[in-house]
Amino acid sequence: MIVKPECVLGLATGSSPIGTYKGLVERYKAGKISFAGVTTVNLDEYKGLSGTHDQSYRYFMQHNLFDHIDVRPECTHVPNGLAEDAEAECARYDAFVRSLGCADLQLLGVGRNGHIGFNEPCDEFVVPTHVVDLTESTIEANARFFASRDEVPRQALTMGIGVIMGAKKIVMVASGADKADAVYGMVKGPVNPQLPASILQLHPDVTLVADKAALSKM
Ligand code: GLP
């Protein structure tokens, strides 16, 4: 049941949400849902990749969702990885997402190291949307999508913890044994910026959708 046809959807990339996007495309093609009034805001983008690069998150979103539904192209938003001034682009994006009132529903995956968006383990939670240096663990995990490890961008633009936590509802999808430590720490561990997803313990409306392997340490 669609309760808010003109909602703001916060979207994620990675392998975790692909099934969700397939399901949404199927429902759209079956005439059950429409995205004509929807605005989308994506979590993050690699710094230095254009939207036409096949590993950019803009490209991922076009191919996995936007090109197959009736969302208006001008209502789909992904940080601009090619912005000359990446910090200014982050500030613009943060203000824009806040001007929408943040997402009505934010979809999230989780990194093996507990990152959300590209909020990497850190000494403090980073509230604003920012440019981040990707950790070795993330570069390693994402190298499988690039021709070689050297081609994986070393930086990204990511929504900060502020606008992610500003979402009214959050749905996290986690699958596979390589997510088990992150899921355990997120749910059972202390709220700790070294495991950024643990901040979700402070959000009032989070649903975790996980398979047995991802829950195996619980
Ligand atoms: C990337 C994205 C995250 C995503 C994570 C996990 O680093 N920036 O938003 O959650 O990968 O990806 P996967 O679902 O492929 O394991």
How far apart (Å, rounded) are the C-alpha atoms in residues 54 and 63? 9
Domains of the chain, earliest start first: 8-109+129-174 (3.40.50.1360)
Strand 169-174 with 44-46, pairing: unpaired
Ligand 1: atom nearest CA of 138 is 7
Mean pLDDT of the chain: 97
Mean pLDDT of 95-112: 98
Question: Three-class SS string for 84-123?
Answer: CCHHHHHHHHHHHHHHCCCCCEEEECCCCCCCECCECCCC
- Specify the higher pLDDT residue, 213 or 2: 213
Mean pLDDT of 58-85: 98
Q: Where residue 82 falls among pLDDT bands split at 50, 70, 90?
A: very high
The yes-or-no answer on residue 26 being catalytic is no
Percent of the chain with pLDDT strictly greater than 90: 97
What is the structure's pLDDT at 162? 98
What is the structure's pLDDT at 1? 62
Can you tell me whether residue 133 is helix, strand or coil?
Answer: strand
For residue range 131-184, list pLDDT tens digits in order.
999 999 999 989 999 999 999 999 999 999 999 999 999 999 999 999 999 999
- What's the pTM? 0.96
Residue 43 Cβ contacting ligand 1 at under 6 Å? yes
Active-site pick, 64, 113, 119, 142: 113
